[in-house]
Amino acid sequence: MMNRVGIFVALWLMACAGASAQTPKGPASAPGKAWSAGTRPGIALTEGEVERVDKEHGEVVINHGDLPNLGMPAMTMGFAVTDRRMLGKLKPGDKVRFNAEVKKGEATVTYIESAR
Ligand SMILES: [Cu+2]
């Protein structure tokens, strides 16, 4: 039973990897163009909208959808970031897709990309 589930997950991850390989990679910060920052995880990304960017404290507030890997329902909350340079790309109202993990006890954005 466990083996069957394991194989299913492996196939699903391969499908995801194939889909992401087709994502065009444009210049990182060209205005109006897609961009991404951080390390893309091997799991589905979560949709969100940026509410606030706090460069001084290295925090971004995101109105986010379900984050299954954190066991979190949709809500608006602040996240730390793995790299503060991510914040330079973000502004309130931006639609994004991202991944978050708990690092040093804090919900932290490890990957984020524009959803336009
Ligand atoms: Cu949350």
Tell me, in angstroms, the distance from the centre of ligand 1 to residue 47's CA: 12
Residue 11 lies in a domain: no
Tell me, in angstroms, the distance from the centre of ligand 1 to residue 2's CA: 30
Q: What is the pLDDT of residue 32?
A: 60
Per-residue pLDDT at 16 exceeds 90: no
Tell me, in angstroms, the distance from the centre of ligand 1 to residue 59's CA: 13
Residue 93 lies in a domain: yes
Residue 56 lies in a domain: yes
Please say whether the beta carbons of 73 and 63 come within 8 A.
no
Residue 51 lies in a domain: yes
Tell me, in angstroms, the distance from the centre of ligand 1 to residue 92's CA: 17
Please say whether the beta carbons of 94 and 103 come within 8 A.
no
Domain CATH for 93: 2.40.50.320
Query: What residues are paired with 98 via a beta bridge?
Result: 46, 112
Tell me, in angstroms, the distance from the centre of ligand 1 to residue 101's CA: 11
Tell me, in angstroms, the distance from the centre of ligand 1 to residue 11's CA: 29
Residue 96 lies in a domain: yes
Residue 8 lies in a domain: no
Tell me, in angstroms, the distance from the centre of ligand 1 to residue 10's CA: 27
Q: What is the pLDDT of residue 3?
A: 52
Residue 65 lies in a domain: yes
Structural domain of 98 = 27-114
Q: Which residue has the higher pLDDT, 18 or 73?
A: 73
Quickly state the pLDDT bin for 34 (edges 50, 70, 90): confident
Q: What is the pLDDT of residue 116?
A: 76
Backbone angles phi, psi at 80, to 5 degrees: -75, 175
This prediction has a pTM of 0.71
Per-residue pLDDT at 107 exceeds 70: yes
Question: What is the number of structural domains in the chain?
Answer: 1
Tell me, in angstroms, the distance from the centre of ligand 1 to residue 7's CA: 30
Residue 53 lies in a domain: yes
